[in-house]
Chains A and B, each alone.
Chain A
Amino acid sequence: MNPSSATPPAVRVENLTVRRRRAVLLDSLDLTADRGVHGLLGPNGAGKTTLLRVLATVAAPSSGTVELLGRTPSSPSARTAVRRRLGYLPQQFGHYPRFTVRELVAHLAWLKEVPAARVPAAVERAVDRVGLADLLDRRMRTLSGGQVRRVGIAQAIVNDPELLVLDEPTAGLDPEHRAEFRALLRELGREAAVLVATHHVDDVAAACDRVTVLERGRRVVECTPAELAAAAGAETGGDDHGGGPAERGYTGVLHRFRRDGAVTPVPSPADAGATGTTETEGASA
């Protein structure tokens, strides 16, 4: 994370608002993300998927500024340029059941304009990275839900994206593959900006460099996983909500936000020694 460097951050969102009919899905949201893994946490309906849809150039903002990979994707040509460097796994990964894994990922590689000569190798490498090399020529309809999810991740990385947007990538994965996926996330984060929305706080704690908690379309807090874990004691007042420290911290900041409409600064483990600054956002933000 180095937002102040000369090159623009991979994701810069300012004052982003998304409305659908009368509902406000995202409300004046600010977010900056660069190379590394950035987790998005929040309860159902918090706006995680809407935010990721905007970052994947699938949904348009109602107002605010969105800058992806140094471009504002408001024009078709700018969107196309961003999409060439983008990987996206939507919450619902629709696939073609009669295709084999190889055929499906190759099809998506074509859609992502991967040069034809590179497609076979890119497909094999992407599928290998998600641990499905043995199933390359299996039909999609014969795969388990977790395996389908991993194919979804494979298609997202087949074009070696600089911005990777993953919506619930670990849904349906068994614990063993979730652990492997975290390792993959960390590896991907060394080369790209990875934004991951998930309900698994453990995944965020294990794989993410930073985390943003959303609630009702607004940002509750942005911090490091360690800071979120440290917030457990401060925010819960000693109540034991179960789960690990990060999960308790997440629950605590949500409760505090709902109660007070704002979250006070979260003390980091090293207090002033944390890499990022802890931010707060009031109800009026």
Chain B
Amino acid sequence: MSAPASPSADPSADPSASPPAAPSAGLLPVLRTELRRGRFLWWWAALVAVQLAGLYVYRWVWQESWADLAQYVRNLAFLTGPLLAALAARHGGRDRRLGAEQLAASVPRSRLQRTVAGLLPVLVCGTAAYLTVWLVTLAAAWPSASAYGRPLVGPVVGDLGAVALFASAGYVLGRLSGGALLAPLTAVCGYAVLLVWDVPHSSGWAQLVPVTFERHEGRFPAWWTGPAQLAWFGGPAVALVLAAAARRRWAAVVPLVVAVAGAVPLQAAAADGVWRPDPDADRLVCRGSAPELCMRAVHEGRRDEVAGYVRRAAELLEDVPGAPVRFEEASVSWAGSAGPGTAVFQLVDGPGASWESSERNVEGLRRDAVLRPLLGWGCSEDVPEDVPIWSEGVLRWAHGRLPGGGGDAASMGYVAEADPAAAAEAAAVLERMGGAERREWLGGYLAARDACDPSAVDAP
């Protein structure tokens, strides 16, 4: 231990002569040290990995819709929220765990400043993880989703409020308690709250914990929901910090009032008020002729996926009287009628979208989605006796004519035949028919189907 020159030799070195430091002065180096030494990089990586893994499972939902992307990124942010709270609880309990409280209590920085400084790296970690996930999914969805609408920033604002709430709740718990088991207990309690909050997704209360796996296709969030959610989540985050660390604890009432002001319109609006129907979502973009393929602008990126099936299906009915010349994607609500000469189809989501859409048969489902509105007897499906028992045989024949459809369509699960033998016989007869005979029969079949009159057509 050396004895250098007295500090008083330099007048500028006299701390009592210096004005009080601003609350944020020098905070950046402190934050940098905390981020570097506090394992936050690992926590960031873990949060990003868990969220991206969860989003990968549901990629077929959010990849082509900005609204669903926003909802699913939100879902994963909430589902990893208790993990962030656990991290914050561990970090918040550090001074207590390491016995540094005595020293911290003797410094001029206020408890509020110390709390904010301690919370900041957790907040940065959680926010960075959220934004990383958002940007990665944004990039992943861009090729498909950019055909319609634009990325939604409003939900991001609200979600960052929720990230702040998870972080501050955990941190404050940690400062108050600091036990070794606090972090896992915080995570468990967080998940318990999320599980208990089981209300119908359409209700107003569900908007206060807006985790839902319902899709928002054709909808967009009302402009005010982002700020309202920020107030609802961010208000309690600020209130917790003020209640735990401010000299004037009653100041916590102010952000709580802000939170209530955000919650009231959310609760009152319910799901239909928060996620508004987008009149532009059903706007069709039509291309080509004979057949003309019309798809919703939102799905313009998937035109190539459908166009091949449509072209080949149209070839099957070439020169058939009354055959549709226009293929139109179904609207969001399936409202309205497409009119004569138009086949309305629905897009089939990719592998993993539902239990039946495995890699093995997703191609068959996509083929069926085009062929069924074209050739299926769909007019009286709710009255089974009005559906000719052989009618699925027409679909079976059509599947067999398209590439990849040579197998037994019924056994693949996308042709549900009431009488497999009759359907097989009808398919075989259609296949044996000459071109002119088949065109004539198909013309009669389509006319009978469009008239919904099974007596007007005989089995092929």
Chain A residues within CB distance 8 Å of chain B? 53, 56-58, 76, 80-81, 83-86, 88-99, 103, 106-116, 118-119, 122, 125, 128-131, 150, 155, 159-162, 177, 180-181, 183-184, 187, 190-191
Residues of B within 8 A of A86 (CB): 106
Q: How far is the CA of A56 from the CA of B413 in the complex (A)?
A: 79
Name which residue of chain B comes closest to A183, CB basis: B3
A162–B3 Cα gap in the complex (Å)?
Answer: 17
Q: Hey, which chain A residues are within 8 Å of B101, CB to CB?
A: 94
Q: Which segment of B82-90, B107-115, B164-172 sits at the interface?
A: B107-115
Could you say which of B26-34, B211-219, B298-306, B437-445 contacts chain A? Answer: B26-34
> What does the 1/0 interface line of B37-57 toward A look like (CB < 8 Å)?
111000000000000000000
Residues of B within 8 A of A (CB): 1-4, 6-8, 12-16, 18, 20-21, 25-27, 29-30, 33, 37-39, 94-95, 98-110, 114, 117, 247
Which residues of B have CB within 8 Å of A93? 99-100, 103
Q: Which residues of B contact A184 (CB under 8 A)?
A: 1, 3
Q: Once the chains bind, are B37 and A160 in contact (CB under 8 Å)?
A: no
**Residue of B27, B30, B106, B114 touching A57 (CB-CB under 8 A):** B106
Choose one: B4, B94, B108, B117; the contact of A84 (CB below 8 Å).
B108
B7 to chain A: which residues have CB within 8 Å?
A: 125, 160, 191
Are A80 and B33 neighbours in the complex by a CB distance under 8 Å? no
For B23, the closest partner residue in chain A by CB is: A113
Contacts of A76 in B (CB 8 A): 110, 247
* A to B CB contacts below 8 Å, 20 in the list: A58-B102, A84-B20, A85-B15, A88-B103, A94-B100, A94-B103, A95-B100, A99-B33, A103-B33, A106-B29, A110-B29, A110-B30, A110-B109, A113-B21, A115-B26, A129-B2, A159-B15, A160-B13, A190-B6, A191-B6
User: CA–CA, A96 to B37, complex, Å?
Assistant: 9
- The 5 A-B residue pairs with the shortest CB-CB distance, nearest first, are A94-B100, A116-B26, A94-B99, A180-B1, A90-B102
Determine which of A58, A99, A122, A190 lies in contact with B105 in the assembled complex, contact meaning CB atoms within 8 Å.
Answer: A58
Q: Report whether B3 and A107 are in contact in the complex, using a CB–CB cutoff of 8 Å.
A: no
User: Can you name the residue of chain B whose Cβ is closest to the Cβ of A109?
Assistant: B26
Q: How far is the CA of A125 from the CA of B8 in the complex (A)?
A: 13
Q: How far is the CA of A133 from the CA of B13 in the complex (A)?
A: 20
A115 touches B38 (CB 8 A): no
Give chain B residues whose Cβ lies under 8 Å from the Cβ of A122.
13
| Contacting pair A129 B1 (CB below 8 A) | yes
- Taking CB as reference atom, which chain A residue is nearest B5? A125
Q: Could you list 15 further interchain pairs (A-B, Cβ under 8 angstroms) beyond the known A94-B102, A116-B26, A162-B16?
A: A83-B106, A84-B16, A84-B108, A90-B102, A107-B33, A108-B107, A110-B27, A110-B30, A113-B21, A113-B25, A114-B26, A115-B26, A116-B29, A131-B1, A150-B1
Report the separation of the CA atoms of residues A191 and B8 in the bound assembly, to the nearest whole angstrom. 8
CB distance from B435 to the nearest CB of A (A): 80
Cα distance, A129 to B1, chains bound together (Å): 5
A128 to B99, CA, bound (A): 25
A125 to B15, CA, bound (A): 15
Given A106-B33, A115-B25, are A177 and B1 neighbors across the interface (CB < 8 Å)?
Answer: yes
- Cα separation A177 to B14 with both chains bound (whole Å): 27
CB-contact partner of B109 in A58, A111, A116, A131, under 8 A:
A111
B103 touching A108 by the CB < 8 A rule? yes
A94 to B18, CA, bound (A): 28
* Contact indicator B16/A119 (Cβ below 8 Å): no
Which among B2, B6, B14, B38 has the highest number of chain A CB atoms within 10 Å? B2
